[in-house]
Structure 1
Amino acid sequence: MSIPILKYSLTTQNQRVNGLEVNPGEEQPKVYTTENLLTALEMDELIWAGYRQVFSEHQILNYTRDRFLESQLRFNQITVKDFIVALILSDSFRRLNRETNNNYRLVEMCVQRILGRDVYNQRERLAFAIVIADKGFEIFIRLLVNSAEYIESFGDTTVPYQRRRILAQRVKGEIPFNLKTPRLTKGFATKQNTLQLLSSTSIRRFRPQEQLPRAGDPALFLTMVPSVSPLSS
């Protein structure tokens, strides 16, 4: 018998309240959807937005692209939601993200990029991590995209985006979720017996030749001062 999903509370986040902006700025997300008939250029932008949301810009490489999926989306053989799910379940996402993160970081990343929000709390992170361990990664992804939250926010036709990133008091260093680079944590490296990948050696600093003290420079004799005892009177 599978383990039931752990219950967790819904803490207040920006995406759960209505905005009060009179003149929304450039930080408002641009919505990419197939609800209207798109031109070829607009479809290219939608596909690029899907890649950027799932992989982030620094992970969009030649081998992360799937031309067959793109073709299916262009000819309405699959929906935008199908396209997003296929990218997350792809071998590229597995190599770049799943194999380099533990389940807790993976939950945080997928909730951010699929539901467009951060995890509510540590208990939600734990609940979905248990789902991955018990039922597998694909069941976890299906659970997210078939949730009422995803259907209400994006449906079958809209590329997920970070909902209401603007804060009442701007946080220093705030960046979009899909631009956060996944890191190989120390705990994950220890578990995989790859601790040697994490360097613990001190960083050596290079000093240019022209900045080194020359012969006769008083700085050369500063180390000698503590060794000189004062003369007794």
Structure 2
Amino acid sequence: MAIPLLEYSPISQNQRVAGFEVPGDEQPRVYSTENLLSSTDLDNLIEAAYRQIFFHAFAADRERFLESQLRSGQITVRDFIRGLLLSNTYKRSFYDLNSNYRFVEQTVQRVLGRDVYDNREKLAWSIVVATKGIKGFVDDLLNTNEYLEAFGYDTIPYQRRRVLPGRSEGELPFNIKSPRYDAYYRGKLGFPQIVWQATVRSYKAPDRQPKTGSPALFMDMARSINARGNAPQQLSVMNIDIEKSVPRR
């Protein structure tokens, strides 16, 4: 008998607040197979899927078989997202290097396009990971009403309502807020590394560099002479003979 999902209460987040938004550059771009006009649009959709799930995919990380199935219409965008989540790249990069709680947090961000509500939601999905494994967790997450209502079968997940009108600053992107490695593994891998420079490098624009004949070009030569003047005389009142110094009247 499978353990039912632990109940958790949603909290107020940006994506749960209804509002009127005017489309602009700050709004996320929606990639969907419903409005494809050319093969280039499909290429952009696939790249958006890799950015959403992997943040960046090298040539060795790409799932060519899944891409071929998506291009030929054999699978939906939802199936393509499922294949990326169950790939060896995602398992090696996120599941193997994090605890179940952090793995749940990162997966919810990438799949549902929002942060986890609280620790109780992380605990609830962590139980699913422990009992059903990664495959069962991914299937349950993609089958939720929240995912189907927000993205359906044809839309790439995205960070929903990261920017709200009236706010000077929006929420941080998920790849910055929750990096791939936590502090423990960042320490083991030896980054971030601090590079100390002994010399201070400066840059001068070409129009501000000295021209031919400028005295600034001879400054180094003048400093290399190391000229020394005569040292000033050190006189003291005790060394002066007042009687001999003052003329006789």
Q: Is TM-score (shorter-chain normalized) higher than 0.5?
A: yes
Partners of 1:146 and 1:97 in 2: CA distance: 21
Question: Corresponding residue for 2:182?
Answer: 184
Change (3 A) 1:64 1:17: same
Deviating more after overlay: 127-136 vs 35-44: 35-44
Q: Does 1:12 align with 2:12?
A: yes
Which of 85, 102, 106 is matched with 1:105 structurally?
102
Distance in structure 2 (CA, Å) of the matches to 1:184 and 1:12: 26
Q: In structure 1, how many angstroms separate the alpha carbons of the residues matched to 2:47 and 2:30?
A: 12
Q: How far did residue 3 of structure 1 move?
A: 2.9
In structure 2, relative to structure 1, the CA distance for the partners of 1:36 and 1:170 (3 Å cut) is same
Residues 163, 169 of structure 2: 8 Å contact kept = no
Task: Report the equivalent of 2:163.
Answer: 166
Bigger Rg over Cα: 2
Alignment of 1:1-233 (within 5 A): 1-21=1-21, 23-56=22-55, 59-167=56-164, 168-171=166-169, 174-178=171-175, 180-186=178-184, 197=188, 207-208=198-199
Instruction: Measure the CA separation in 2 of the matches of 1:47 and 1:208.
Output: 45
C-alpha deviations, 1:113-140, integer Å up to 9, x for none? 1011110111101111111112211111
**Percent identity for Structure 1 against Structure 2:** 51
CA deviation profile, 1:119-169 (whole Å, cap 9, x unmatched): 011110111111111221111111111111111111111111111111353
TM-score, length-scaled by structure 1: 0.76
- Residue number in structure 1 paired with 2:209: none
SS of 2:45's equivalent in the other structure is helix
Partner of 1:218: none
CA distance in 2, matches of 1:95, 1:134: 20
How many residue pairs were aligned?
197
Instruction: Compute the TM-score of the two structures, normalised by the length of structure 2.
Output: 0.71
TM superposition outliers: structure 1 runs of 4+ over 6 Å: none
What whole-Å deviation, never above 9, does each CA across 1:194-233 have from its counterpart, x for those lacking one?
Answer: x98276xxx7966559xxxxxxxxxxxxxxxxxxxxxxxx
Q: Is the 8 A contact 2:141 2:147 kept in 1?
A: yes
CA distance in 2, matches of 1:184, 1:109: 11
